Amino acid sequence: MQEIADSRQQAEEELKRLRSEENELLDSIDKNDGSMKDKIIRLAEVMEHRLDLGDQQCTYLVHEISTQITRSLRSLRCPIAPWVHDYLPEKYKNPDLARWGKLAKNVHEIAIGTVLPRQPLEECSIATIETTLETMIRFKKENGGNIFDNQIDLFRRELVDRGVKEAAGEKYRDPISARDYRFEIPNDAELAELNNEVVVQMRRVIHEYEVFVENFIEYPGYTKEDARKWGNAARTYANMMAIVNEKKWSGEIDFWLDRNYWKKSQSSHKSGNSTFFDTTLCGRCSKNIDEDPKDFHVTKYDKTSPTGYRCDNCGSFEIDDRFNSREQVGDKSPEIDRMASDIVNHLEYYVDIFKDWRQRSLNPAIYARKRAISERFRRAAFGKDEIVVPRKKNK
């Protein structure tokens, strides 16, 4: 009797261990941790061992283990659930379900091979894509199931990428975040690509400013105080950008603010003649430029050079400089004083142009419009009016 009691206790301890291991395996599969195939096979072995030990909590048979694991993973919304059947040995599978599964798979492969075009999707014409998409949609409606789901999504996405808004009796529109610029430029981008990105993004800035101006005309400020504050801030910012783009100026605005300070604290002579601007001219090959303006040589950028430039003619890294004059400091003094005053008084409100205007002028109009067409938005969200097709990649 003691031996029977000991054996029963050992079995109970083993069942506790197996149940714990089963829960750990399910949790690990749900977290996509490690090899999924090995874990699913081990999970089936644990469940079989529980059956051998007569676990009363097991309400399934050995050939139903595959179905049981699939149901458990689907309840966890695990994406690997549909492939459980492919990972497990035959003894864990219901032979009737396996036979129907193979038949459905064969029908799926035959249908795909019959309908889909032979050439790659990107080489197909719009007419071919539309005809194929229409055939797949009709086949799916007539036969049901999830056949052609992935292919239909790919064909819709390709049509959207090509600018098609309506095809096969469907209307398409981009998701709101189709063109996603949130992420930084890749570190492995080449120089030409990086320079082009600057141009692309600045053109986006120009476009967005133009749209803002059009929107502001339609939804202007409601108070004189706001309009005056925003106008002065925009004027100051425009003046600063004008200085950045002015090729006749030497140095940046912060340089001239500093020179103006030195003029007032020292003298115009000290302010002008104590500063020299680096050029990209070779200090050796361009040493006679004062006598002959055409006698000069431009250096190349070289990050290994102490000055950042190196002459490809003589190999020198010495660069020529350009002086600043007290006349230039004196000529710019009134403009710099005006700019300093504008920056102090108005530039801090530049962000308010967009933040306050959006909150006080545009938002009420947007909310009113959305409230008026809320039913149409709701229908579109359920695909009753338009199908939102996600893009495969950002453009």
Mean pLDDT for the stretch of residues 229-248: 84
Per-residue tokens: 144: 């049901």
Report the distance separating Cα 231 and Cα 220, nearest Å: 12
Mean pLDDT for 319-332 is 66
Higher pLDDT, 184 or 271: 184
Mean pLDDT of 311-319: 83
Q: What is the model's pLDDT at position 3?
A: 60
Pairwise pLDDT comparison (320 vs 395), residue with the higher score: 320
Q: Is the pLDDT of residue 278 over 90?
A: no
CB-based burial, 194-205: b 16+ in 10 Å, e otherwise:
eeeeeeeeeeee
Any bridge partners for residue 277, and if so which? 322
Distance separating alpha carbons of residues 295 and 57, to the nearest angstrom: 95
List the beta bridge partners of residue 300: 310
Residue-level pLDDT at 234: 92
Identify the pLDDT of residue 203.
92
Residue pLDDT, tens place only, 349-381: 888 888 888 888 888 877 787 777 777 666 666
User: How much is the pLDDT for 214?
Assistant: 92
C-alpha–C-alpha distance, residues 96 and 67, integer Å? 12
Distance of alpha carbon 87 from alpha carbon 274, whole angstroms: 79
Q: Is the pLDDT score of 321 beyond 60?
A: yes
- How confident is the model at residue 101, as a pLDDT? 52
| Percentage above 90 pLDDT, the chain | 6
With bands split at pLDDT 50, 70 and 90, how would you rate the model's confidence at 149?
A: confident
Tens-digit pLDDT profile for residues 26-55:
888 877 777 788 888 888 888 888 888 777
**Neighbouring residues of 69: CB distance < 8 A, sequence distance ≥ 6:** 40, 43, 44, 47, 84, 88
Task: List the single range of 157-171, 249-263, 305-319 with lowest mean pLDDT.
Answer: 249-263
User: Given pLDDT bands bounded at 50, 70 and 90, which one contains residue 206?
Assistant: very high
Q: Is 141's pLDDT higher than 80?
A: no
**Residue 126 pLDDT greater than 60, yes or no:** yes
Highest-confidence segment of 166-180, 205-219, 336-350: 205-219
Phi, psi values for residue 56, rounded to 5°: -70, -15
